[in-house]
Amino acid sequence: MKHVSIDLTGKDSVFISNIYRYHNGLCGLSLYRNHPEQLPSVDQLKEKIDLLQQAYEAGTTGNRVQIALRTQLRNELTEIFKKITAYLQSVATEDDIPALLQAGFSVKRIGTRKKTVVAPAT
């Protein structure tokens, strides 16, 4: 069993940098090419990320409208990327792990491991 995750924390500048990286990874990820309709295409995702970048830059001057827009877009993108990681986790196989890692996603194997019992020396 595997757990796919990404880092959606940190300051806005770190968040934007990370989601650009994840977006670039999704562009080359064959798993995401046949995504469900509920998830955005990589082009739609790029538009939203670019809007967040513009709102971030405009909000540095203290423009309250842009700051509110930045907060709203960050929350939307956080939810979208959570859905994307859940989708990738559900469709990915063991063979897809290297591609996910290459795309910038973290993959951890979870589950129980078999314990080996050492026979007592006689």
Token duo for residue 71: 């907060």
How many CB atoms sit inside 10 A of residue 105's CB?
A: 22
How many CB atoms sit inside 10 A of residue 78's CB?
A: 14
- Is 90 exceeded by the pLDDT of residue 102? no
Fill in the DSSP letter of residue 10: S
For the entire predicted model, the pTM comes to 0.82
Position 118, amino acid: V
Q: Between 76 and 114, whose confidence is greater? A: 76
User: Residue 4 belongs to what H/E stretch?
Assistant: strand 2-5
How many angstroms separate the CA atoms of 36 and 9, rounded? Answer: 26
**Tens digits of residue pLDDT in 40-84:** 999 999 999 999 999 999 998 888 999 999 999 999 999 999 999
Q: Between 99 and 53, whose confidence is greater? A: 53
